[in-house]
Structure formats: C-alpha cells, structure tokens
C-alpha cells in the first residue's frame, strides 16, 4: 500500500498542516460562495481562523494519538462559526480510536470523525460539509479501486469528492438558486486534497485541478433575506454537562445549534435572538472561557452596501435606539464587562437587569474588559472591504482605553477617520446620530470630517445619579464620602468637561431637588445657547425618564430624538435609577 501501509506521526502532522494551508489560500473564494445557512459571507473567515489555530497551536506529540489530541484541542478552541465547529468535531473524531494508523485504522478514524460531526449538529442538513465527510468515508471504505499505485488512488479519492461537491448544488435549494457549491463542503474538500497530496509528497493539486476542481465564482448578487435569528453566538466552556442535556436546554432558543467537544472542553454555537439568555444559562453549568457574538444582520447589511460609501463604527457605550442603528450604516463594537473572569458583552450578552443581579451576587465589583487589537483590526478590515470610507467614533479617551486601541489598530489603514468624541453614553450616541444623518443626506466625507469637530464641541451630557453605591464599590469615590452622601441623601449631577473628563456639577439633597436642578440646567442652556437636538436615557427608570421628557418639552418646546436604556458599561458606575440627557447646542 506504499504510503498508506503505515502513516507515521510526523507525516500525519505535516499532512494536517498542509491541508489547513490549502483552505486558508481560498478564504476569499469560500466567503464569496457562502449562502447557507445565512448569506453573511464569512465561511472563509471562520474556516481560515480554524486552520490558523491548527497551524499555530497543534503540537507534534511523541505518538499519533498525542498529536491528534493536540489537534482536536486546537481545533475546538480556534473554531469559529457553524462550519468551523462542525469541522473541529470531525477532527476530534479522529482521536477516538487508539491504534497505529495503517489503512484499515485510517478508515476507522475517518468513520469516527463523520459520526462525531453528525452528532454535533442538532439538525443535520445534507448538501453541506457533513455530506462530503460522509462521502469521503464511504469512498475509502467501499472502493474497489486498486491502491498499489498510491498517486492514482489519491487522485481517484479527490475526483469522487469533487463529484459529491458538485452534487451539493442540487441537494440544497439555496445552492441551486445561486448555482454554487456549498462553501463549507468546498472547505472540507480543499483540506482533504491538501492532506492527501502531502501524504504522497505531491506539492500541488494543479495537475488534477483542471479535471474536477471547483470553478472560481463570479460575484454573487445576494438577494434580500430575512434573518430569523440574528446573533451567531458561541460559548467555549469547561463543563461536565453532556451534549444531549445541552441540546435539550438550548434547542428552543434558535437554530443552527452545534455542540462540539474534546476531552476537556465544549463549545456551543447557535443562531439566536437572545444571546444574553444563552450565556446566562451556560454560566451556571461550568466555567465560561470565551464567548463571541456576531450580528449577522449587520454583517449582511455591510455586504449589500452598494449605495453607502461611508460607514460608522462606534463602541457600545454610545447609547442609540437599535432601530436607528439597524436602518443606518452603523456598526457597534461591544465593550466587555468582566465578572469573576467571565466576559459579558455590553448590549449583547448582558442587559442592565442582569448586570445588577450579578453585582448583588458577587462581592467583587465588575471591571471593563479590554478587547484585543487583533479583534478590532478584524472588524475594521471587514468594514473596509464593503465601504470606501470609515468613520470611527469612540467614547472619551479620558474615560476608556478603547480609543487608544483603535489608534494602534489603524496603523497602515487609509480612508479612516478616528474621532475622540470626548463624550459617553447618550451624548456620544447623539454625535453618532448626527453623523449618520449626514451620511444619509450624502454629505461628502471631507465635509463630514469638518462638521464633526464642531459637533464634538457643541455636545454635552447631564446625568442625575440616584445612588453613590456603585461609585463607591468601583473605587471612583471614597467609601467615607459615599457613606456621608447616603446619610445626607446627596444626589449629584455629573457631566463631562471639554477635555473629556468626568466632573460633578452639583450635589443636591433628595431626588426631587436634584431632578428640578437638572431640568433648570437644560432650560438655561436652551435660553442662552439654544438646543439643536437632545435625547434621554435611563437605568431601569423609564418613569423618571418620561417625566424628564415632559418637563424639558415644557421648557423648550422640543421633543427628544429618542429615549432609551443606558449602556451597561455606564450603568455599572452610574447605578440604578440614574437618568441622563444628552444635547447638542446651537451656540457655535
């Protein structure tokens, strides 16, 4: 059997790496082909992330079993998306037998991989990656092709796989509509081609590609789609809970449920509208090591951005109505909140009700979580593939390190404007709101750039803080001052100065007096400078927010452009029942 008589450990390792590199080479093609299960064009990115993890983290062990177990861990940790997690389970299945790899054992391991891949999926769909996995297993097991000539035999396997790949066009209606093969199935085929070519020491597949390999697609015009479940949610955790129990727990919260595992870990993937519920339910079952949420609706919106030349990227601290964000080219980078080494993402995997429930449960106060420059770079890179210009509007650099991270991530990029809004919460949101309106009105990029400088100077925030408890626990004020404030029922009004630093404008005894003072401050600004626009946000205190709205309308004759909830990052420090008004003056 030549090379298949016995696959040595180093040969297996090299073949796996070669297969991974083959997939990475075709990342953009896989993205373009991606129309199932959602047309978000990220299969190439997800499989490429998986393959890079395999290349970077798989260790050559002293035995094949050690190497494959290292591969399985690297694959699960590095898996992204539906396709990546299914692929990782195929690779995990290779570890489930424990003999040297002769040809019969190689076939058994592939069969095990297929079983694990199918078992990971709540509702398997044929015409996808798992179909190609099964086809590989069947070809290896049932073929009568002589394997004395190993090169001819490998070519035969590749031909059969590509035939099955071509057949995916007729197995799924959406593939038939677009006339393309399944992107995940192609990714698997590429990996197998690279793996087998390495085993027989052939450096390229070019000599067989002309006969049966895929064709590079032309640009696919993706139709408008209705995404039922918006958020692609993934959680990596250590838990003893079995897959069957996890499936029963989560299956009703969305679709595309895939649960992967290794000996140590489990990874959950699901498309859902309630990512915060998914994370909450999993957090009580074990230690969450990592979570990720992608907004597939906004991703799809970006890929369809034919008329919009300019896109906005802001952080989740900017408080805006979701309906406004959804209807404009605004993308939001979520800021993390760290509770006992579990990271929750603002406005995605945590809301204010959950925030204060967690704060009450834990002695240690939460902290903000610093994202990686690599993650920020990936977001910027994605947006610049679909928009000509990018405007990044961040929370005040004096209040968060996110602006500095964006500055570092932008090295080497062109056509990007980075703006320190010197604001947070609703006032930061108002700046985003105004810039989005300018984009909607087709204002040229250079004119927007000039207008933003004035806009930042004209924007202001006033915050009624109802309790000092969280400021004490977070260390923002001394405990003794907090105790005194509580005894005297002190209610501060907090703002941000021209440098972007938080300041206390006043302290009043009692909520009613503080509320009245806040209204008077807004009224004074209206009389002396005029108010262009304003908005109101609150922390679980809609009643007071509506009362504030009514009083400001009486004073100014103007209604707010929106009323909404405060970001959990801000709520973490401002505390329950706080209310804020952001406004843009007419003065300059």
Question: How many other CB atoms sit within 10 Å of the CB of residue 543?
Answer: 11
Predicted local distance difference test score (pLDDT) of residue 477: 46
- Can you tell me the mean pLDDT for 510-529? 91
Contact by Cβ (8 Å): 586, 531: yes
pLDDT at 480 over 50: no
Q: Where are the beta strands (DSSP E) in 432-568?
A: 459-464, 490-496, 502-509, 531-538, 563-565
Reported as a single tens digit per residue, the pLDDT across 42-73 is 788 888 888 999 999 999 988 888 888 899 89
Report the relative pairing of strands 490-496 and 459-464 from DSSP bridges. Answer: antiparallel
The predicted pLDDT at position 291 comes to 92
Q: What average pLDDT does the chain have?
A: 85
For residue 476, how many other CB atoms are within 10 A of its CB? Answer: 12
pLDDT tens, position by position, 535-584? 999 999 999 999 999 999 999 999 999 999 999 999 988 888 899 999 99
User: Could you tell me which residue, 321 or 509, shows the higher pLDDT?
Assistant: 321
Q: Give the list of residues 6+ apart from residue 524 with CB closer than 8 angstroms, or none.
A: none
pLDDT of residue 4: 47
Dihedral angle over CA of 456, 337, 367, 49, nearest 10: -100
The rounded distance, in Å, linking the Cα atoms of 515 and 409 is 42
pLDDT for residue 423: 94
**Predicted confidence band of residue 253 (pLDDT cuts 50, 70, 90):** very high
Question: How many Cβ atoms are within 10 Å of 530's Cβ, its own excluded?
Answer: 13
Closest CA relative to residue 508, chosen from 498, 519, 499, 500: 519
Place 482 in a pLDDT band, splitting at 50, 70 and 90.
very low
Between 466 and 252, residue with greater pLDDT: 252
- φ/ψ region of 81 (left if φ > 0, alpha if ψ in -120 to 50, else beta) reads left
């Amino acid at each position: 059997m030549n090379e298949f008589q016995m696959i040595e450990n180093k040969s297996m390792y090299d073949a796996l790496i070669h297969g991974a590199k083959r997939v990475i080479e075709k990342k953009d093609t896989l993205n373009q082909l991606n129309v199932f299960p959602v047309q978000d064009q990220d299969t190439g990115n997800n499989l490429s992330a998986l393959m890079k993890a395999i290349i970077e983290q798989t260790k050559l062990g002293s035995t094949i079993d050690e190497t494959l177990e290292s591969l399985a861990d690297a694959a699960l940790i590095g898996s992204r998306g539906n396709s990546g997690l299914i692929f990782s389970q195929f690779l995990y299945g290779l570890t489930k037998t424990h003999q040297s790899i002769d040809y019969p054992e190689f076939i058994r391991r592939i069969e095990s991989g297929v079983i694990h891949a199918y078992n990971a999926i709540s509702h398997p769909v044929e015409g996808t990656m798992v179909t190609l996995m099964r086809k590989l297993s069947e070809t290896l097991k049932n073929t009568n092709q002589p394997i004395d000539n190993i090169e001819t035999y490998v070519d035969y396997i590749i031909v059969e796989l590509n035939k099955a790949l071509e057949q995916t066009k007729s197995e799924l209606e959406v593939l038939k509509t677009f006339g393309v093969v399944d992107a995940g199935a192609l990714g698997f085929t590429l990996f197998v081609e690279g793996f087998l070519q390495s085993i027989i020491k052939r450096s390229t597949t070019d000599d067989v590609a002309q006969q049966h390999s895929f064709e590079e697609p032309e640009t696919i015009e993706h139709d408008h789609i209705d995404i039922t479940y918006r958020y692609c949610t993934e959680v990596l955790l250590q838990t003893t809970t079995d897959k069957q129990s996890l499936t029963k727990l989560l299956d009703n919260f969305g679709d595309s449920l895939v649960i992967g595992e290794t000996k140590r870990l489990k990874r959950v993937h699901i498309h859902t509208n309630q990512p915060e519920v998914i994370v909450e339910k999993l957090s009580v079952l074990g230690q969450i090591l990592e979570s990720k949420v992608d907004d597939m609706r906004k991703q799809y919106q970006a890929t369809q951005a034919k008329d919009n030349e300019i896109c906005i990227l802001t952080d989740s601290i900017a408080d805006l109505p979701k309906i406004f964000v959804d209807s404009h080219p605004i993308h939001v980078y979520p800021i993390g909140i760290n509770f006992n080494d579990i990271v929750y993402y603002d406005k995605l995997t945590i809301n204010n009700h959950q925030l204060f429930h967690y704060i009450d449960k834990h002695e240690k106060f939460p902290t903000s979580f610093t994202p990686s420059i690599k993650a920020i770079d990936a977001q910027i890179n994605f947006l610049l593939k679909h928009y000509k210009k990018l405007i990044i509007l961040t929370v005040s650099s004096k209040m968060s390190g996110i602006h500095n991270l964006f500055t570092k991530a932008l090295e080497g990029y062109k056509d990007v404007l980075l703006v320190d809004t010197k604001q947070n919460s609703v006032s930061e949101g108002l700046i985003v709101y105004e810039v989005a309106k300018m984009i909607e009105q087709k204002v040229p990029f250079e004119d927007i750039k000039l207008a933003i400088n004035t806009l930042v100077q004209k924007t202001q925030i006033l915050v009624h803080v109802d309790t000092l408890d969280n400021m004490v626990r977070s260390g923002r004020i001394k405990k003794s001052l907090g105790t005194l404030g509580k005894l005297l029922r002190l209610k501060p009004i907090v703002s941000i100065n021209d440098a972007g630093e938080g300041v206390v404008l006043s302290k009043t005894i009692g909520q009613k007096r503080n509320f009245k003072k806040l209204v008077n401050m807004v009224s004074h600004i209206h009389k002396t400078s005029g108010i262009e626009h304003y908005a109101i946000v609150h922390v679980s205190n809609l009643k007071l927010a509506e009362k504030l709205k009514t009083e400001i309308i009486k004073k100014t004759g103007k209604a707010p452009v929106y009323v909404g909830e405060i970001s959990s990052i801000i709520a973490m420090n401002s505390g329950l029942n706080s209310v804020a008004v952001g406004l843009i003056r007419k003065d300059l």
